[in-house]
Amino acid sequence: MSRSNKLHSVAAIFDNPDKVIFAAEKVRDEGYKKFDVNTPYPIHGMDEAMGLGSSKIGFVTLFFGLFGGAFILLFMWWSLALSYPLFIGGKPFFSLPAFFPITFETAVLFACVSTFIALITVFFKLPFNNHPLHDTDYMKQVSVDKYGIYILLEDEKFDKDKIIELFNSLGASSTELIYQPKEEKYSMFQPKYLIFLVFLAVGTSASTYLMLNKLMYINPFNWMEFQEKLNPQESSLFFADRRSMRTPVNGTVARGFIPYPYKGIANPKEVLSNPTLPTTSFLKLGKKKYLTFCSPCHGNFGEGDSRLNGQFPNGPTFHSDKVRNFKDGMIYHIITNGQNSMSAYDRQISREERWAIVDYIRVLQRAKNAKNSDLEEIKKEPSTND
């Protein structure tokens, strides 16, 4: 560092800690305010000697620690109980003890990081690598094994000769005048700087381009997304028609498929006969499927009271004479084939379930038109029969 002739401070070196602590007290008593002591390690009792109070850094820690803990706790509550309530084994969304570990860790993290940052930037005002003290003999000595005091020019009572005299009377082993470093000025339009700027601009744009357009699209590993097999809709040179999907051989029948002979016929002359027995369990299946598939349009009891609020033509009642006189096979046919605006349900409902629905519709019809003798029958049966 080249120095200007502007004075910064007057410094003195002392040989042992006793001398420096005594000197610091004296300097303070003389009324100097802008002075500092430099020692290679903290010296016990120096704060009192210099008249410094205790450090306030603890408040930073306290504030940010509490802030960090409160913040993360609220955040976890918001994210797991409000934003996206997560069911975990039926436990409550927010039960405090389970949130303690993270609250604690985050509080410590905030406390430490904030303390560190505040310490360096606010309390130390570092980094400060061009401070006048750097690169002086004074600094080189107090960095190792000597103890120094310096008084700044800004001090109200600053008087160079008086201070040197004071230091010498306190037993300083040497004194030193510390000068401000020369202010270094750089012009904006230095060729070096401009070339640097150009390189920076080219470098940044090139790397951004590569990053966003090339690098991000490189697939390091294919994992299992790409496999040595043909997917549907892919082309393949193996077959003459260049399709990877093969059409089944003519007349192929899917497993379990039984063709329905009256498919597509509106009013078939003859229909299938009901192959099932209306047992209790079978009727229960019918009820379940009926409520699932038919009740939205035909009503829960087949009365044609649709729940669709007129968005679709109401399904007619099943208690009309017409439907009551249908053969079982006819109802089966309507479910399988559809009728006018009602579409076919053979894809959703299995064959067995369709017959179960037919049987259940018969139950609904019978219940609606019950005779007195039916009541007698019911009374005879045990009441547990539901």
Does position 106 interact with other proteins (CB under 8 A)? The reply is: yes
Does position 126 interact with other proteins (CB under 8 A)? The reply is: yes
357 binds, among other proteins, ligand HEC, none (CB under 5 to 8 A by kind): ligand HEC
Does position 34 interact with other proteins (CB under 8 A)? The reply is: no
Q: Which element (helix H / strand E) includes 335?
A: helix 328-337
Q: How far is the C-alpha of 261 from the C-alpha of 269, rounded, in Å?
A: 12
Q: How many residues bind ligand HEC (CB under 6 A)?
A: 21
Among 335, 336, 359, 365, binds ligand HEC (CB under 6 A): 335
Among 138, 150, 345, 355, binds ligand HEC (CB under 6 A): 345
Write the interaction track for ligand HEC spanning residues 225-264; mark x where CB under 6 A is met and - where it is not.
----------------------------------------
Does position 70 interact with other proteins (CB under 8 A)? The reply is: no
Does position 198 interact with other proteins (CB under 8 A)? The reply is: no
Candidates 143-151, 238-246, 249-257, 373-381: pick the segment binding other proteins (CB under 8 A).
143-151
Among 20, 315, 336, 362, binds ligand HEC (CB under 6 A): 315
Does position 334 interact with ligand HEC (CB under 6 A)? The reply is: yes
Does position 307 interact with ligand HEC (CB under 6 A)? The reply is: no
The residue among 148 and 329 lying less far from other proteins, judged by its C-beta, is 148
Does position 296 interact with ligand HEC (CB under 6 A)? The reply is: yes
335 binds, among other proteins, ligand HEC, none (CB under 5 to 8 A by kind): ligand HEC
Is the peptide bond preceding residue 181 cis, with omega within 30 degrees of 0?
no
Q: Is 251 left (phi over 0), alpha (psi -120 to 50) or beta?
A: left
Candidates 139-147, 229-237, 314-322, 326-334: pick the segment binding other proteins (CB under 8 A).
139-147
Does position 143 interact with other proteins (CB under 8 A)? The reply is: yes
CB 68 within 8 A of CB 60: no
Among 12, 294, 356, 364, binds ligand HEC (CB under 6 A): 294
Q: How far is the C-alpha of 249 from the C-alpha of 275, rounded, in Å?
A: 32
Burial class (CB in 10 A: 0-12, 13-18, 19+), 191: exposed
Q: How far is the C-alpha of 248 from the C-alpha of 239, rounded, in Å?
A: 14
177 binds, among ligand HEC, other proteins, none (CB under 5 to 8 A by kind): none
Supply the minimum distance, in Å, between the C-beta of residue 371 and ligand HEC. Answer: 23
Q: Which element (helix H / strand E) includes 106?
A: helix 100-117
Locate 167 and state its tokens.
């230091």
Which DSSP category does 217 fall into? G
**For residue 283, how many C-alpha atoms fall within 13 Å in the half-sphere facing its CB?**
11
CB 138 within 8 A of CB 150: yes
Does position 340 interact with ligand HEC (CB under 6 A)? The reply is: yes
Locate 99 and state its tokens.
């949130």
Does position 41 interact with other proteins (CB under 8 A)? The reply is: yes
CB 148 within 8 A of CB 31: no
| 119: helix, strand or coil | helix
Candidates 144-152, 162-170, 183-191, 318-326: pick the segment binding ligand HEC (CB under 6 A).
318-326
Does position 323 interact with ligand HEC (CB under 6 A)? The reply is: yes
40 binds, among ligand HEC, other proteins, none (CB under 5 to 8 A by kind): other proteins
Q: How far is the C-alpha of 63 from the C-alpha of 56, rounded, in Å?
A: 12
Burial 36-50 (b: 16+ CB within 10 A, else e): ebbbeeebeebeebb
Q: Count other C-beta atoms under 10 Å from residue 319's C-beta.
A: 18
Q: How far is the C-alpha of 130 from the C-alpha of 153, rounded, in Å?
A: 17
Chain residues 211-270 in contact with other proteins, contact rule CB under 8 A: 221, 223
Binding site for ligand HEC (CB under 6 A): 293-294, 296-298, 312-313, 315-316, 320, 322-323, 331, 334-335, 339-342, 345, 357
